[in-house]
Chain A
Amino acid sequence: MKTIIATTIALLTATSVSATILGTGTAEWNGTSGTVHGSADCEFKKNDAGTMTYDSATGLWTVTNPAIVVLKSKNANNMKVVAGTELLDSNGNAVADVAVDYRTGSSVSIQGKSDGTSNINIAEITAGNLKRGNNKRTKVKFTIDGTAQMGVDSEGLVDDLEIDNNTNYTIEHTVTCIQ
C-alpha cells in the first residue's frame, strides 16, 4: 500500500515538474552587435539650422526655432559652440555686426556620461568631461537658442543701413569637436 502511494506521489510530482518545464520553456535570439562605436571619435549626427525673427525697432534678432546639433563622441573630451559676430547675406557677405547671447533658451544634454559638464555663456556653449573609459560613446545635444543684438552707430542708432526688407540673413555658429 505504502509502495502504491509513494509511486503515485512520485508520478504526480514528475508530471507536475514536466508540466512546469514545458510551461516556462524559453527561446533565445543570439547575435553579435558588430561595430557599434565605429572608428571615428567625433561624429556629427544631426545638424539642423534654426530660424530667427527681427525687431527693427530694437535691432534685436530673436530665435523662433533653435538650431539643433547632435554629436556622438568616443574619445573626444570637449566640444564647443562659438557664435559668429556678423550678420551674413545669402552670399555669405557680412552686412552688419551682431552680438549673440546664448543664455536664453539654450541647453546642453549629455547622455552616457553622468558627470559630463556644460556651460552656457554669452557667446559660447561648452560641454566637457565627455570621455568614457570603456570605449563607448557619449551623446551630446546642443540646443542653440537666444538672441543677437545688432550693433549701433556713433549716434546710438541701430546700424541697419545694409539690411533689406523681407530678406533672409544668417548668423553662423561653429561647433567644434576635437578628437
Chain B
Amino acid sequence: MRILLVAVMCILPTLASAHSMSPGFETEYAVSDTHSKKYIVQNEYPFPATYKVEVFNKDMTPATEWRAKKYTFRIKPNSKKEINLKFKSTETRKLIVCSTLTNIGYENEKASIISRVCSRLIINGNTRL
C-alpha cells in the first residue's frame, strides 16, 4: 500500500499552472479605425482569483485609446476567461497587454505576490488610400 501511494505521488504532477495568458506576441493589420483583439486568461489556482487588464506602450507607460467591456474580472478555480479589447488603430501601435493578479481566494484577499503576464501586440494601422 505504501509503495502504491509513493507511485501515485510520483505520477501526479506536483504543481499546477497558476496564471497564463494567450496569445503571446502578435502582429496584426487593422482594417478599420477600431481594432478588436481577444485574449484568454487562465486561472489554474485551486481557488478563485481576480485579475485586471492593463495596456501599456512599449516603454511601459500607460497606453490610451483602448477600452474593454470590463477592466477587472474574477475567474473561478481552474478556469479561463476571454477578454475582448478594442484599440484605436488609425496609426501603427506597439503595445503591451497585461493581465495582472490583484486578489485571491474565496475571501477575495489582496495578493501579495502579483503575477503579471504581458503580451506584446503590434497593430499596423488602417491607412486609407
State the CA gap A45–B18 with chains docked (Å): 5
Size of chain A's interface in residues, with CB distance under 8 A? 33
A42 touches B24 (CB 8 A): yes
Chain B interface residue number, banded: 20 to 34
With A171-B112, A172-B114, A179-B118 known to touch, is A44 a contact of B17 (CB < 8 Å)? Answer: yes
* A91 surroundings in chain B (CB, below 8 A): 110
B67: CB under 8 A from chain A? no
B75: CB under 8 A from chain A? no
The one of A69, A74, A90, A92 that contacts B115, using a Cβ cutoff of 8 Å: A69
Give the shortest distance, in Å, between A122 (CB) and chain B (any CB): 19
A48: CB under 8 A from chain B? yes
B113: CB under 8 A from chain A? yes
B20: CB under 8 A from chain A? yes
The one of B15, B21, B100, B111 that contacts A42, using a Cβ cutoff of 8 Å: B21
- B-contact 0/1 string along A137-177, CB 8 Å cutoff: 00000001000000000000000000000000011111111
In chain B, positions 72-112 with a C-beta closer than 8 Å to chain A are 96, 98, 100-101, 109-112
Residue of B nearest to A69 (CB): B113
The one of A39, A46, A47, A144 that contacts B22, using a Cβ cutoff of 8 Å: A39
Residue of B nearest to A39 (CB): B22
With A42-B20, A44-B17 known to touch, is A178 a contact of B118 (CB < 8 Å)? Answer: yes
A44 touches B19 (CB 8 A): yes
A43: CB under 8 A from chain B? yes
A49: CB under 8 A from chain B? yes
Give the shortest distance, in Å, between A6 (CB) and chain B (any CB): 54
A175 touches B18 (CB 8 A): no
State the CA gap A45–B22 with chains docked (Å): 15
B63: CB under 8 A from chain A? no
A41 touches B110 (CB 8 A): no
State the CA gap A47–B116 with chains docked (Å): 11
Interface residues of B (CB under 8 A from A): 15-25, 42, 45, 96, 98, 100-101, 109-120
- 15 chain-A/chain-B pairs, Cβ below 8 angstroms: A40-B24, A40-B42, A41-B22, A41-B24, A42-B21, A43-B17, A45-B17, A171-B112, A172-B114, A173-B113, A174-B114, A177-B115, A177-B116, A177-B117, A178-B120
9 extra interface residue pairs, beta carbon distance < 8 Å, beyond A49-B112, A170-B110? A43-B17, A43-B18, A44-B20, A47-B101, A170-B112, A175-B113, A176-B98, A176-B118, A179-B117
Q: Which 9 residue pairs across A and B have the least CB separation, nearest first? A: A179-B24, A40-B20, A41-B24, A44-B19, A92-B110, A174-B114, A44-B18, A43-B20, A178-B118
